[in-house]
Chains A and B, each alone.
Chain A
């Protein structure tokens, strides 16, 4: 049997305790996904009397990382921001919740990605990097995430026969193979007849290998497959992403003036492309106690903005030459949420940016553009580098 990627989902839930998995309940349509576990197997090079390189592989430091790409609508963007930056107190009501995000410790998530019949679940997930860009009008966000572990598939450690209420998973992958599973999960055990038997977990034993469930008749040999059954996705009304056409970008000498300029089309700067990348530089080193990264901790934060706008005066060239402080505010207005006229919105303030490159390349028949890269700097006078405010339909408790 073959499976279509288009039927897959991304499901997310913020964890109460970082690294302790929960069953994801928020489903988000993916554009693409490339998260993978790197087991870093190496050939076993011990001298075993062979004239061949090796007869086995040995595990190295395990890592779990990759990209999630989605279209940036207000509700789902909130989760990706929440795994990148620190959410402050949410205000508002069901007519529009306002969530402020500032540079700080992000929430850790459990995420799940469907691969045909099974789901790949990653826990302890945080964003190492978040890139927002406009692709053919649509705001697209790429979260480069890392995780502290995964559960997807395992094997029976002991044979099952007749009516059983528990099973043990093989420790071939990890000494605690049930990490990532929670009560309420549905797992599929492939019986000796080749048919899968679905089991809803009642408990995940503290021994790290035993799972219990209601009495079920299964006949299965040691090594038979056991996998996390993919959920049936459910969506809370898939809304349009933010569009470049509904985005105003203000540039000014400081954040106040940039925000004022972003307030109207007449004062905003028309950007032919606009993208920014927020980086957390997560520490993901291995440490005692876990074959996976023990924990994911943000280190030095940094960010970069890239823009393309029409060249009109040598102003930006001079700003680059003289390393002049500028500020940028982006305000994107999204779908109308209420008949009262409240819209989803995303406001991002870069308090202090300076040009690292400003190219004015010439091409035959073409107008000259300023193609720019800004380093986002900490503004000591404002006491901030970046401020983000998101208005959507999702209550603060969901984050």
Chain B
């Protein structure tokens, strides 16, 4: 499973098996990054607002 991490330091950092992650940038990786210069970016499930969920009028019943 891939996780997203953000480099929260002000330095470009090289992480073994991940590569170079520039300051402030995010990286998607299978490597579990346990490092205080990185913050795990929690996955946010995006649900469209109700008014945008419209019934498909063309759908055949």
Contacts and interface: CB of A to CB of B under 8 A. Distances in A.
Same complex? yes
Interface residues of A, number: 17
A232 B11 contact: no
Given A25-B37, A184-B36, A186-B34, A233 B16 contact: yes
B12 A237 contact: yes
Interface string B24-38: 000000011111111
Given A23-B36, A184-B36, A238-B14, A232 B9 contact: no
Interface in A50-75: none
Interface in B16-56: 16, 21, 31-38
Nearest to B40: A200
B31 A231 contact: no
A236 B11 contact: yes
Contacts of A231: 34-36
Contacts of B35: 25, 231-234
Nearest to B16: A233
Secondary structure at chain B's binding surface: helix, strand, loop or mixed? loop
A235 B21 CA distance: 10
B34 A230 contact: yes
A7 B15 CA distance: 12
Interface string A230-267: 11111111100000000000000000000000000000
A234 B15 contact: yes
A218 B44 CA distance: 26
A23 B32 CA distance: 18
Interface in A157-211: 184, 186, 198
A79 interface: no
A349 interface: no
B10 to A, nearest CB: 9
Contacts of B31: 232
Looking at A24, A231, A232, the one whose CB has the most chain B CB atoms below 10 A away is A232
A237 B20 CA distance: 9
Given A25-B36, A25-B37, A186-B34, A232 B15 contact: yes
A24 B9 CA distance: 13
Contact of B38 (A7, A24, A234): A234
B44 to A, nearest CB: 18
A12 to B, nearest CB: 12
Nearest to A229: B34
A138 B21 CA distance: 28
Interface string A25-36: 100000000000
A25 B35 CA distance: 7
A184 B36 CA distance: 8
Given A25-B9, A232-B31, A237 B14 contact: yes
Contacts of B16: 7, 232-233
Contacts of A234: 13-15, 21, 35, 37-38
Nearest to A233: B16
Nearest to A25: B36
A233 B9 contact: no
B13 A236 contact: yes
Contacts of B32: 232
Interface string A1-33: 000000100000000000000011100000000
Given A25-B37, A231-B36, 11 more contacts: A24-B36, A231-B34, A232-B15, A232-B31, A234-B13, A234-B35, A234-B38, A235-B14, A236-B12, A236-B13, A237-B12
17 contacts: A23-B36, A24-B36, A25-B36, A184-B36, A186-B34, A229-B34, A231-B35, A232-B16, A232-B33, A232-B34, A233-B15, A233-B16, A234-B13, A234-B14, A234-B21, A234-B38, A236-B13
Interface of A: 7, 23-25, 184, 186, 198, 229-238
